[in-house]
């Protein structure tokens, strides 16, 4: 035993002499140091999560305000070890230029990902419009083009990351080989004691050095992220100091005073949007603001475009306030919501989708009004609240709501309808406005199984690259073992010269380097190929998903999956682990799944808050939404912390296991007869024993990380299996060119329901729209008018009956062939980020001359010519730099360019002023004189000149005849609607 102790000083550090109390104390301190290290690491994690939470909260709050060095303890090979230090330092220095390149490409990658995510977000938000125009494939190709640009940058980043990893693997091999060569030339004796003590020390040093690539990558990501966060947080905010809010006790006469106000949407505009505004509104006054639709974007208490949160109708009305049953019921009655709630399966507890997508426009507007009324505010800003409801509902709301419930309140009403103006105390008319120059989510449970792995590897040539990577990794580790075995077997062998010993050792090491590089390249190729293929399948699934999917799925839930990069460096290790590790693996998978779910909820809440920021600020509800955001951040960070805590839990147990194995092995070697194993073999065993903890933990951690990362594939796979719509094109049954030529629409016993197990909303409708006729569809809000239009475009498929257009059953042809042959001016005018030309003709099918011609017919030529760039002038996100009326005229321009024989107007005039409505109707009468025009409208004058009127109530046809005949019929629904409209006009 004493011989081995003298031969291997490394063993002396593992087995303290019984007579040396200092050594015993050293052992205790060393063991307690390992435990302390875990506590320190845990504290670092806590601080990191707190910083992350702080930044997340700061970013959320901002959008509401927007306008290890290791040192060797012992030296065994003397000055020759300086050669190893030189190699390690050189490898670390080599990371510097690689890091600079990585930072450059990563910065570009982040911008490319932003552009791609913006395009995906815009497409998913406006998917209904894309389907109506049959533009899905064009917008999908735009996303694919952006994705290709992103993949090019991602490839560069991954290759640089692979180079860093190769350096971390190669540097210990080079260091050991160079050191042995230095020993040979300096005459330092090579024996088991020196060689394996040095290799063990090198293994200890390699652990922190190997972290350099990971640390560099994290620093680069952090630097890029911090720069973007700082830019966001430094953006201008609303200047609240220019607004003074006073109690009524201090100011009795006036509720609102604006003195010489210059108002603008931009921080430094060339021209203010509103100049020298002087306005005084007395307490209890009702002021109407009317004028031409020329100013884009409005600040409003009840916004023109309704903002609805995900949740129940009751939650949207209460909006954070406590329930008062009496006031609540009165609010519902005054906002004409009683009948609507009776039609819903769970009344006011019915869950509505994000943005209220499964409600009609009128229902969303009345829920907004109810929300405002329930707040019992002192001053009410109403931005055109009657635009999306029929005349009867508008009169009811005006009398019960504005005149009745808001009596004694200060009301500012912005409107383009002059019918209600006589009831107001004062009217502010804006005729000419100066413009500025424009420059709950599904979650898998239990074991993951092998399906996600096969799904990931079954992409293009992924399995080939995976096989190459595994083979190279196996050969690499085999070379490392062979290298050390050669040294252990021959270091004491006098028949092997030192030069030969070092030469073979170095050649084996150089061979292993080749496989490291090949493994890195294969892993990068594997990640990129799988990522590209999975993203393509996800995109196809999303663009072929039915509209019902988007009505029931929050945008944040979709986007939380889209940005995921399934291209991490894979290290697959098959290990038989103890029961505690299996317990850890099972627990961590569930925590990661929960973490993904909480992240989706956080993203959905952020998206809703950004969309409704004006409403939130108007209600002064920033504190409540900020508190909700903090709660969602806490839940998300809590799961993240538990993931890292579970890793520390495992690490502690692995350390105990490794210490036990190492001590037992060393004790066994000491107790065995002296010549059982040679000194070289004993040295190799102890050297491997010292690195066992790091190796075992890395193996288990990589295995668990792989399982956690593969959950991303599992989550993506949920959206890759969305039941799709009918085929875009059925090649065996395509309509003839020029179809439909007549425009005759036959509806036979049509029955529609939105989802399985929901009530039928259209109940056996049968009628015929003659070719070239002008059809007006009327009915109360929620009667099924827009559902009929959805059935015509096959946004919803019938459960019974059929629709035939010019002799062709539309259910037998492809969706693209159907939708691309029909024209529509939708209820919600939508513009996309890009140019005027792109918004009118995204498929580039028309010349500039044709586009200018259409703009002239839409009365938009002058507006576009005034913009810098003309047809190439900028259209901002959601078209916010164009008024609501102008956006609707853009939709008219699209219809004129398409020139379909059938044109549908789905409540197209609801949100525009009378002058814009006149332009729209005049253009349609002249340009679509011989076409079938189907008009769904709240405004009765819009359909008075129709050939036929179809009246719908509760999903059934009540009457279908010529308007003059219906006017003469007693008890006619159409006649009743006309009477209500004209009586409203005469009374006002």
Rounded to whole angstroms, what are the CA distances from 249 to 241, 286, 310, 409?
Answer: 21, 21, 38, 16
Cis amide prior to 607 (ω within 30 degrees) = no
* 899 three-state secondary structure: coil
- String of DSSP letters for 761-772: SEEEEEEEE-TT
Nearest 5°: the CA angle 454, 457, 463 is 125
Residue 62 to residue 235: CA distance in whole angstroms = 9
Mean pLDDT of 303-312: 70
Query: Locate tokens 């004028």: which residue?
Result: 291
Torsion, Cα 865 871 872 878, to 10 degrees, reads 90
Q: E-assigned strands of 770-908?
A: 774-778, 798-805, 808-809, 823-825, 834-835, 874-875, 902-906
**CATH fold for domain 576-724:** ABC transporter transmembrane region fold (1.20.1560)
**Are 547 and 128 spatial neighbours (Cβ–Cβ below 8 Å)?**
yes
pLDDT bracket for residue 924 (50, 70, 90): confident
pLDDT bracket for residue 959 (50, 70, 90): very high
pLDDT bracket for residue 663 (50, 70, 90): confident
- Angle (deg, nearest 10), helices 498-544 and 136-186: 170
Residue 316 to residue 375: CA distance in whole angstroms = 12
Backbone angles phi, psi at 972, to 5 degrees: -70, 135
- Kindly tell me the burial class for residue 832, based on how many C-beta atoms sit within 10 Å of its own C-beta (0-12, 13-18, 19 or more): buried
**Token digits for 263?**
């108002």
pLDDT at 294: 37
Least confident of 220-229, 482-491, 680-689, 830-839: 680-689
Residue 511 makes CB contacts below 8 A (sequence gap 6+) with: 479
pLDDT bracket for residue 901 (50, 70, 90): very high
pLDDT at 238: 61
pLDDT at 78: 44
pLDDT at 833: 87
Residue 96 makes CB contacts below 8 A (sequence gap 6+) with: none
- Angle (deg, nearest 10), helices 914-927 and 884-898: 0
Q: Which of 961, 960, 970, 920 is nearest to 942 (CA)?
A: 920
Residue 288 to residue 962: CA distance in whole angstroms = 37
Mean pLDDT of 489-508: 76
pLDDT at 481: 78
Mean pLDDT of 479-508: 76
Q: Does domain 254-423 have CATH number 3.40.50.300?
A: yes
CA 860: distance to chain centroid?
Answer: 35
Residue 886 to residue 876: CA distance in whole angstroms = 14
Residue 172 to residue 169: CA distance in whole angstroms = 7
Q: Check whether 405 has a pLDDT greater than 80.
A: no
Residue 588 to residue 785: CA distance in whole angstroms = 50
Residue 957 to residue 653: CA distance in whole angstroms = 73
**Are 943 and 776 spatial neighbours (Cβ–Cβ below 8 Å)?**
yes
pLDDT by residue (tens digit) across 10-39?
A: 333 333 344 333 333 333 333 444 444 555
Least confident of 519-523, 533-537, 592-596: 592-596
Residue 497 to residue 503: CA distance in whole angstroms = 10
**Are 696 and 426 spatial neighbours (Cβ–Cβ below 8 Å)?**
no
**Are 362 and 781 spatial neighbours (Cβ–Cβ below 8 Å)?**
yes
pLDDT at 32: 43
DSSP state of 401: I
**Token digits for 975?**
């006649």
Query: Locate tokens 């490898």: which residue?
Result: 91
pLDDT by residue (tens digit) across 619-631?
A: 677 777 778 878 8
Instruction: Compute the mean pLDDT over every residue in the chain, rounded to the nearest whole number.
Output: 72
Domain ranges of the chain: 77-228+467-548, 254-423, 576-724, 745-827+901-912+925-985
Mean pLDDT of 658-667: 75
Query: Locate tokens 């490291």: which residue?
Result: 516
Residue 388 to residue 538: CA distance in whole angstroms = 35
DSSP state of 725: -
pLDDT by residue (tens digit) across 538-559?
A: 888 888 888 878 777 766 667 6
- String of DSSP letters for 600-667: HHHHHHHHHHHHTHHHHHHTT-HHHHHHHHHHHHHHHHHHHHHHHHHHHHHHHHHHHHHHHHHHHHHH
pLDDT bracket for residue 198 (50, 70, 90): low
Q: Which of 759, 762, 796 is nearest to 953 (CA)?
A: 762
Residue 925 has a CB neighbour count (10 Å cut-off) of: 12
The class level of CATH for 745-827+901-912+925-985 reads alpha beta
Mean pLDDT of 264-273: 54
680 or 442: which leads in pLDDT: 680
Q: Check whether 564 has a pLDDT greater than 50.
A: no
Residue 402 makes CB contacts below 8 A (sequence gap 6+) with: 286, 382, 411, 413, 420, 423
pLDDT by residue (tens digit) across 873-889?
A: 888 877 878 887 888 88
Q: How many helical (H) and strand (E) elements, i.e. helices and strands, does the chain have?
A: 33, 20
Q: Give strand pairing partners of 767.
A: 747
**Are 643 and 701 spatial neighbours (Cβ–Cβ below 8 Å)?**
no
**Token digits for 534?**
């999975």
pLDDT at 554: 65
C-alpha neighbours within 13 Å on the C-beta side of residue 143: 25
- Kindly tell me the burial class for residue 71, based on how many C-beta atoms sit within 10 Å of its own C-beta (0-12, 13-18, 19 or more): exposed
pLDDT bracket for residue 94 (50, 70, 90): low
Rg (CA), the chain: 36
Q: Give strand pairing partners of 160.
A: none
pLDDT bracket for residue 863 (50, 70, 90): confident
pLDDT at 11: 38
Q: E-assigned strands of 771-894?
A: 774-778, 798-805, 808-809, 823-825, 834-835, 874-875
pLDDT at 716: 76
Element holding 859 (H helix, E strand): none
Backbone angles phi, psi at 60, to 5 degrees: -60, -45
pLDDT bracket for residue 931 (50, 70, 90): very high
Fold matches, 254-423 and 576-724: no
Pairing of strands 798-805, 808-809: antiparallel
Query: Locate tokens 């090979």: which residue?
Result: 77
Least confident of 229-243, 427-441, 698-712, 819-833: 427-441
66 or 342: which leads in pLDDT: 342
């Amino acid at each position: 035993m004493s011989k081995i102790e003298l031969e291997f000083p490394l063993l002396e550090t593992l087995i303290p002499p019984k007579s040396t109390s200092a050594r015993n104390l050293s052992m205790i301190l060393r063991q307690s140091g390992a435990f302390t290290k875990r506590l320190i690491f845990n504290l670092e994690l806590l601080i990191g999560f707190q910083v992350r939470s702080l930044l997340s909260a700061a970013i959320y709050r901002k959008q509401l305000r927007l306008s290890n060095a290791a040192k060797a303890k012992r030296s065994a090979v003397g000055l020759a070890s300086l050669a190893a230090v030189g190699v390690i330092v050189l490898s670390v220095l080599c990371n510097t230029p690689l890091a600079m390149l990585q930072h450059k490409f990563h910065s570009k990658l982040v911008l490319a990902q932003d552009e791609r995510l913006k395009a995906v977000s815009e497409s998913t938000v406006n998917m209904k419009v894309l389907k109506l125009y049959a533009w899905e494939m064009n917008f999908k190709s735009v996303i694919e083009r952006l994705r290709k640009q992103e993949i090019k940058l991602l490839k560069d980043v991954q290759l640089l990351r692979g180079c860093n990893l190769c350096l971390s693997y190669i540097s210990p091999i080079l260091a050991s080989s160079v050191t042995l060569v230095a020993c040979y030339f300096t005459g330092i004796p090579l024996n088991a004691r020196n060689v394996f003590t040095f290799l063990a020390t090198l293994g200890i040093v390699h652990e922190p050095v190997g972290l350099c690539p990971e640390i560099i990558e994290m620093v680069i990501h952090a630097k890029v992220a911090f720069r973007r966060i700082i830019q966001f947080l430094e953006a201008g905010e609303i200047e609240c100091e220019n607004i003074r809010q006073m109690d009524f006790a201090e100011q009795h006469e006036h509720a609102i005073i604006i003195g010489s106000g210059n108002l603008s949407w931009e921080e430094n505009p060339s021209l203010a949007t509103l100049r020298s505004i002087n306005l005084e509104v007395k307490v209890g006054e009702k002021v109407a603001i009317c004028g031409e639709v020329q100013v884009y974007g409005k600040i409003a208490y009840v916004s023109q475009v309704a903002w609805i949160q995900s949740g129940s109708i009751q939650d949207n009305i209460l909006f954070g306030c406590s329930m008062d049953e009496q006031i609540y019921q009165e609010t519902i009655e005054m906002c004409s919501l009683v009948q609507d709630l009776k039609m819903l399966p769970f009344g006011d507890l019915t869950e509505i989708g994000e943005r209220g997508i499964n409600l009609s426009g009128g229902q969303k507007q009345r829920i907004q009004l109810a929300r405002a009324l329930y707040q019992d505010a002192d001053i009410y800003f109403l931005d055109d609240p009657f635009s999306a409801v029929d005349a009867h509902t508008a009169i009811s709301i005006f009398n019960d709501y504005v005149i009745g419930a808001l009596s004694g309140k200060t009301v500012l009403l912005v409107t383009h309808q002059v019918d209600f103006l006589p009831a107001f105390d004062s009217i502010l008319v804006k005729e000419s406005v100066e413009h500025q120059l424009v420059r709950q989510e599904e979650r898998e449970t239990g074991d993951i199984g092998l399906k996600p792995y096969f799904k990931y590897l079954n992409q293009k040539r992924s399995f080939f690259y995976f096989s190459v990577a595994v083979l190279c990794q196996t050969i690499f580790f085999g070379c490392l073992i062979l290298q050390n075995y050669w040294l252990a077997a021959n270091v004491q062998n006098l028949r092997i010269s030192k030069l030969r010993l070092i030469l073979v050792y170095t050649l084996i090491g150089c061979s292993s380097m080749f496989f490291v590089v090949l493994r890195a390249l294969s892993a990068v190729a594997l990640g990129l190929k799988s990522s590209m293929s999975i993203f393509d399948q996800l995109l196809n699934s999303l663009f072929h998903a039915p509209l019902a999917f988007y009505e029931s799925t929050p945008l944040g839930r979709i986007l939380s999956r889209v940005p995921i990069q399934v291209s991490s460096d894979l290290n697959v290790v098959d290990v038989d682990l103890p029961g505690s590790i299996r317990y850890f693996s099972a627990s961590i998978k569930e925590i990661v799944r929960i973490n993904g779910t909480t992240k989706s909820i956080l993203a959905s809440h952020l998206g809703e808050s950004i969309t409704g920021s004006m409403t939130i600020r108007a209600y002064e509800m920033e504190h409540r939404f900020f508190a909700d955001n903090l709660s969602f951040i806490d839940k998300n960070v809590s799961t993240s912390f538990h993931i890292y805590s579970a890793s520390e839990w495992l690490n502690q147990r692995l350390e105990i296991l490794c210490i036990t194995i190492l001590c037992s092995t060393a004790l066994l070697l000491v107790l065995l007869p002296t010549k059982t194993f040679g000194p070289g073999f004993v040295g190799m065993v102890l050297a491997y024993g010292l690195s066992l903890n790091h190796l075992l933990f890395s193996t288990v951690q990589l295995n668990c990380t792989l399982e956690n990362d593969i959950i991303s594939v599992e989550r993506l796979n949920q959206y890759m299996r969305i039941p799709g719509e009918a085929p875009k094109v059925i090649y065996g049954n395509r309509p003839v060119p020029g179809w439909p030529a007549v425009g005759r629409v036959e509806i036979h016993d049509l029955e529609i329901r939105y989802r399985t197990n929901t009530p039928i909303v259209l109940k056996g409708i049968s009628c015929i729209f003659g070719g070239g006729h002008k059809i007006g569809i009327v009915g109360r809000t929620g009667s099924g008018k827009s559902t009929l239009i959805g059935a015509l475009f096959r946004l919803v498929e019938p459960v019974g009956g059929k629709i035939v257009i010019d002799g062709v059953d539309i259910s037998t042809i492809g969706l693209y062939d159907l939708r691309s042959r029909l024209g529509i001016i939708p209820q919600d005018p939508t513009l996309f980020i890009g140019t005027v030309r792109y918004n009118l003709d995204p498929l580039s099918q028309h010349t500039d001359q044709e586009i200018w011609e259409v703009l002239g017919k839409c009365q938009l030529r002058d507006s576009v010519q005034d913009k810098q760039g003309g047809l190439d002038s900028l259209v901002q996100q959601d078209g916010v730099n164009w008024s609501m009326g102008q956006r609707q005229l853009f939709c008219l321009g699209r219809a004129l360019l398409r020139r379909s024989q059938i044109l549908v107007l789905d409540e197209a005039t609801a949100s525009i002023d009378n002058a814009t409505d006149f332009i729209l109707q005049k253009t349609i009468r002249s340009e679509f004189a011989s076409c079938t025009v189907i008009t769904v409208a709240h405004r009765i004058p819009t359909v008075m000149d129709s050939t036929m009127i179809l009246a719908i109530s509760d999903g059934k046809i009540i009457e279908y005849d010529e308007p003059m005949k219906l006017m003469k019929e007693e008890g006619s629904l159409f006649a009743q609607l006309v009477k209500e409209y004209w009586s409203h006009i005469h009374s006002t």
